Amino acid sequence: MKLTDITPAIALTPLDGRYHKATAPLVEFLSEPALNRERMRVEVEWMILLANGFEGNGNRPVVDGVTPFTDAEIAFLRSIPEDFGAEGIARHAAHEAVTHHDVKAVEYYIDDQIDAAPAELSNINDRLKTLVHFACTSEDINNLSIARCVKNAMEQVWTPAFTAIIDHLAAKADEYRAKPLLSLTHGQPATPTTLGKELAVYVYRLNRQLRHLASQEYLGKINGATGTFGAHLAACPDVDWIAVSREFVTNRMGLTWNPLTTQIESHDWQAELYSTVSHANRIMHNLCVDVWMYISRGVFAQVPVKGATGSSTMPHKVNPIRFENAEANFELSCSLLDTLSATLVESRWQRDLTDSTTQRNIGSALGYSLLALHNLKGGLESIHPNDVVIARELDENWEVLGEPIQTAMRACELRGLPGMDKPYEKVKELMRGHEISKEAVEAFIDQQAFDPETAARLKALTPASYTGVADRLVDFDR
Ligand SMILES: O=C(O)C[C@H](Nc1ncnc2c1ncn2[C@@H]1O[C@H](COP(=O)(O)O)[C@@H](O)[C@H]1O)C(=O)O
């Protein structure tokens, strides 16, 4: 049997196949039918504005000769996108198969619905078809639709999933704020920290990206074929089209009005948004790798899932597959987002159509990230610190106390205490290259001419207590 003969159609890509459950929430905003539905919303809202006006023009029809819609007629027009379902998708596709123009097919679909309107809606008649897409170029409809789809996807799907990761990490940072942990710089034992503080570093970094997203602008334009309102003015010279355009984009579409464009909205806001998401992806990629290595070290233990197989051949294993999956999907997301950011900001003269094709992949770009967020969350929820390993690591590395001892010696020397010269060299002599015990550290402190208070403070230190103010720093992660 050929797989292409099976219905429903087998997905080519994992986002819509294997991982569909995790990525499905984005279908509502970033799929092809979602875009076409949004195009219909934009088209009918434009018709409503043209027919019923707005406060700025005294609520009179913008276009002379058009009768204002009644409430029932407005409700009917708005039902066109809301009722766009399987049958509508097929009908739109049939139009597109003939027009080879997706926005024109939307226009014809709206014409079909006008034909089918109840007779009592007297303004929804054949004559009204003239008002559909009035003075618009396809990009007027597309840029507004895409901006609204992306804004909704970000606000309703991606950002909540991202925030859930931050909230989880923040709760764990708080819980483990005082749990000491051996640091490794260059992979070598270094000044201890706390587990909570290390997680809080990620919370702080991710919160900065969240704030960037909160101030992200989503721009839109509606100004005709080359952004000059040429057709608008030729048809209706007495209308303040700049005011109409601003009203539509700002108040009806809920976007930031872009007054100055070629045929296309310049897509700079998209480049900015995708750069931020890509940056957030990379921070979380760093987190995945760190946690993976903590698991490998034994600092985090994984809770085995009942019935699940770690390795197909090595029965003892619980593999950190959620973190590995997240790592891979963040990488895929970044590569698409980076391509979108880099290419969408260029268009030949007043337009080329490369952006149209590229923007069809926004769903994939955010889909890979959403999938990664899903797996990262599951991974984070399935780990907990292994106190035995953490304590053992600290206890096996008393040499990390070389730093506080030599720094205290410097302070003593600066205060004029004799015998405190060459502190770095003296401690290096003791610490480097051989294993250091608690007793050796104590003996070294005793051999130096510390004042009693400093000696007592240093002797009270252990690798586990040498964590500075790491616990308090967690409070700065918001
Ligand atoms: O309002 C217009 O259409 C003006 C026209 N510019 C266009 N603006 C927007 N869409 C256009 C344009 N041209 C084509 N198409 C249609 O875009 C679709 C491209 O398909 P795909 O490559 O799959 O993304 C595909 O459906 C194309 O038919 C111009 O001549 O400047």
Contact 364, 358 (CB under 8 A): no
pLDDT at 342 over 90: yes
- Give span(s): CATH 1.10.275.10, the chain: 30-134
45: enclosing H helix or E strand: helix 32-52
Of the residues 79, 296, 311, 437, only one is catalytic, namely 311
Ligand 1 atom closest to 105 (CA) = 26
Report CA dihedral (32, 36, 41, 47) to the nearest 10 degrees: 160
Question: How far is the C-alpha of 318 from the C-alpha of 255, rounded, in Å?
Answer: 48
Parallel/antiparallel/unpaired status of strands 188-194 and 300-302: unpaired
52 C-beta closer than 6 A to ligand 1: no
Contact 150, 190 (CB under 8 A): no
- Give span(s): CATH 1.10.40.30, the chain: 398-476
**For residue 40, how far is its CA from the centre of ligand 1 (angstroms)?**
16
**For residue 275, how far is its CA from the centre of ligand 1 (angstroms)?**
26
Measured by CA distance, the residue closest to atom 7 of ligand 1 is 138
The 8-class DSSP code of residue 219 comes to E
Mean pLDDT of 183-195: 98
98 C-beta closer than 6 A to ligand 1: no
**Mind listing the pLDDT tens digit for each residue in 376-412?**
999 999 999 999 999 999 999 999 999 999 999 999 9
356 C-beta closer than 6 A to ligand 1: yes
101 C-beta closer than 6 A to ligand 1: yes
Which residue matches tokens 């039918």? 33
User: Is 347 part of the annotated catalytic residue set?
Assistant: no
Secondary-structure class of domain 144-304+328-386 per CATH: mainly alpha
**Mind listing the pLDDT tens digit for each residue in 275-293?**
999 999 999 999 999 999 9
Contact 291, 252 (CB under 8 A): no
137 C-beta closer than 6 A to ligand 1: yes
If one residue of 102, 142, 222 were mutated to test the ligand 1 pocket, choosing by the most ligand atoms within 8 A of its CB, it would be: 102
pLDDT at 431 over 90: no
Average pLDDT, the chain: 97
Measured by CA distance, the residue closest to atom 27 of ligand 1 is 101
Ligand 1 atom closest to 99 (CA) = 28
**For residue 139, how far is its CA from the centre of ligand 1 (angstroms)?**
8
**For residue 140, how far is its CA from the centre of ligand 1 (angstroms)?**
11
Share of the chain above pLDDT 90, in %: 95
Parallel/antiparallel/unpaired status of strands 188-194 and 180-185: antiparallel
258 C-beta closer than 6 A to ligand 1: no
Measured by CA distance, the residue closest to atom 26 of ligand 1 is 101
If one residue of 100, 132, 138, 222 were mutated to test the ligand 1 pocket, choosing by the most ligand atoms within 8 A of its CB, it would be: 138
185 C-beta closer than 6 A to ligand 1: no
Extended strands (E) in 148-216: 180-185, 188-194
Q: What is the pLDDT at residue 346?
A: 98
pLDDT at 432 over 90: no
432 C-beta closer than 6 A to ligand 1: no
Mean pLDDT of 411-439: 91
Measured by CA distance, the residue closest to atom 19 of ligand 1 is 356
Ligand 1 atom closest to 359 (CA) = 24
Q: What is the pLDDT at residue 286?
A: 98
User: Is 335 part of the annotated catalytic residue set?
Assistant: no
100 C-beta closer than 6 A to ligand 1: yes
Ligand 1 atom closest to 102 (CA) = 26
**For residue 117, how far is its CA from the centre of ligand 1 (angstroms)?**
29
Which residue matches tokens 């290259």? 433
- For the chain, the three-class secondary structure string (H helix, E strand, C coil) is CCHHHCCCCCCCCCCCCCCHHHHHHHHHHHCHHHHHHHHHHHHHHHHHHHHHCCHHHCCCCCCCCCCCCCHHHHHHHHHHHHCCCHHHHHHHHHHHHHHCCHHHHHHHHHHHHHHCCCCCCCCCCHHHHHHCCCCCCHHHHHHHHHHHHHHHHHHHHHHHHHHHHHHHHHHHHHHCCCCEEEEEECCEEEEEEEHHHHHHHHHHHHHHHHHHHHCCCCEECCCCCCCCCHHHHHHCCCCCHHHHHHHHHHHHCCCEECCCCCCCCCCHHHHHHHHHHHHHHHHHHHHHHHHHHHHHHCCEEECCCCCCCCCCCCCCCCCCHHHHHHHHHHHHHHHHHHHHHHHHCCCCCCCCCHHHHHHCCHHHHHHHHHHHHHHHHHHHHCEEECHHHHHHHHHCCHHHHHHHHHHHHHHHHHCCCCCCCCHHHHHHHHHCCCCCCHHHHHHHHHHCCCCHHHHHHHHHCCCCCCCCCHHHHHHHCC
- CA 160 from chain center: how many Å? 9
Mean pLDDT of 22-51: 98
Ligand 1 atom closest to 138 (CA) = 1
151 C-beta closer than 6 A to ligand 1: no
Of the residues 100, 186, 316, 434, only one is catalytic, namely 186
Cβ burial 327-355 (10 Å sphere, 16+ → b, else e): bbbbebbbebbbebbebbeebeeebeeeb
Per-residue pLDDT band at 310 (split at 50, 70, 90): confident
pLDDT at 227 over 80: yes
- Give span(s): CATH 1.20.200.10, the chain: 144-304+328-386
Cβ burial 373-395 (10 Å sphere, 16+ → b, else e): bbbbbbbbebbebbeebbeebbe
Contact 308, 300 (CB under 8 A): no
Per-residue pLDDT band at 200 (split at 50, 70, 90): very high
In CATH, the architecture of 30-134 is Orthogonal Bundle (1.10)
Q: What is the pLDDT at residue 478?
A: 86
Q: What is the pLDDT at residue 316?
A: 78
Question: How far is the C-alpha of 195 from the C-alpha of 207, rounded, in Å?
Answer: 18
Q: What is the pLDDT at residue 313?
A: 78
357 C-beta closer than 6 A to ligand 1: yes
pLDDT at 306 over 80: no
Q: What is the pLDDT at residue 476?
A: 97
Contact 50, 63 (CB under 8 A): yes
Q: Which CATH number fits domain 398-476: 3.90.110.10, 1.20.1250.20, 1.20.1050.40, 1.10.40.30?
A: 1.10.40.30
428 C-beta closer than 6 A to ligand 1: no
pLDDT at 179 over 90: yes
